[in-house]
Structure 1
Amino acid sequence: MKKKKIQKTNAMRTLENHKINYDVHEYAWNEERTDAKTAAEKVDMPFEKIYKTLVAVGNKTSIIVACIPASNELDLKKFAKASGNKKVDMLHMKELEKTTGYIRGGCSPVGMKKLFPTYIAAEAETMETIVVSAGRRGMQMELAPEELVEVTEGEFADITE
């Protein structure tokens, strides 16, 4: 049986350009069930491995990106401190695509329109691999956290509640 060819996203192309290995996990996406728990179930993945990408605006640094376990909440005070800001607010949803090139539910920390300061939750440091959006709803990519740090020029930080 012939394997279905995956239409590459900007996130995947970016990883390939950096010679970073990754696995793709696809699932049927729908508007009613957009949560990460659903994604974890559909790709048969432990929920702890699923990371969500959040985009915020710092009062000093402007756009910043957080990649945190889907089961956790972003701590805005810790995020502000880690990113050198006094105050951080979430980017308004209507600004997301214009700013990053990605839509809600398909925002990847990799391959955004620009390379924004990126902070990966410290919890990821102890994991062999984590799963982040591949830049399209219903598509995830699994890679080593160190390689995510490398490709985003990010850093590990204590940013969750």
Structure 2
Amino acid sequence: MRVLDAAGVEYISRIFECPEALSGVEVARLLDLDPERVFKTLVTEGRSREHYVFMIPVAEELDLKKAAAAVGEKSIAMIKSKELLPLTGYIHGGCSPIGMKKTFATVVDETAILFDRIVFSGGRIGTQIEVPLGDLESVVDLTTADLTVR
């Protein structure tokens, strides 16, 4: 949220009690949100050893072949959970595309353009942020692509 504040981006924060990580679908249900506009943040590593961030609707599964094609890699794989905190500064269940330790190429599923506002993790368990996609693009270098298993 500090990054959004510094950039002058208006957003809605949704903070809720959550003693442990919930699935994205559970978070959407808890907050009474359409799960198609609630996005999870996934971190991957390409064959080149570069890291990439993908945002997909919480009820969907990342298609690794489509994701690799979107970033020009031959293949990609999800990083191990234990690698997430040292790499991004975030824990599983609280990973946000904003404010990572390093800047990574970020791709959001093309369905995000269907909504006035999308929702994603605010960087810790129990915090969600809602912004227009264009405002997210002002603080994260984003591209869009078809990323999910269909």
Q: TM exceeds 0.5?
A: yes
Structure 2 counterpart of 1:125, which letter? I
The structure with the larger Rg is 1
Find out whether 1:124 has 2:112 as its counterpart: yes
State the alpha-carbon separation in 1 of the partners of residues 83 and 65 from structure 2.
22
Number of the residue aligned with 2:42: 54
Number of the residue aligned with 1:104: 92
Which string of whole-angstrom CA distances, capped at 9 and with x for unpartnered residues, describes residues 86-112 of structure 1? Answer: 010101100000000000000001110
| Map 1:1-161 → 2, pairs under 5 A | 12-31=1-20, 34-60=22-48, 62-161=50-149
State the alpha-carbon separation in 1 of the partners of residues 8 and 61 from structure 2.
31
Instruction: Provide structure 1 residue ranges, at least 5 long, that are not aligned to the other structure.
Output: 1-11
Question: How well do the aligned residues superpose, as a CA RMSD in angstroms?
Answer: 1.2
Give the count of matched residue pairs.
149
Structure 1 counterpart of 2:83, which letter? E
From the superposition, tell whether residues 61 and 19 of structure 1 become closer, same or farther in structure 2 (CA, over 3 Å). Answer: farther
Query: What TM-score, normalized by structure 2, do the two folds share?
Result: 0.94
Structure 2 counterpart of 1:72, which letter? E
CA displacement at 1:133 relative to structure 2: 0.1
CA displacement at 1:78 relative to structure 2: 0.4
Paired residue secondary structure (1:141): strand
State the alpha-carbon separation in 2 of the partners of residues 59 and 147 from structure 1.
31
Query: What TM-score, normalized by structure 1, do the two folds share?
Result: 0.88
Structure 2 counterpart of 1:20, which letter? V
Question: Where do 4+ consecutive residues of structure 1 move more than 2 Å?
Answer: none
CA displacement at 1:61 relative to structure 2: 5.8
State the alpha-carbon separation in 1 of the partners of residues 55 and 73 from structure 2.
17
Structure 2 counterpart of 1:109, which letter? P
* Farther-moved stretch of structure 1 (131-140 vs 20-29): 20-29
CA displacement at 1:114 relative to structure 2: 0.9
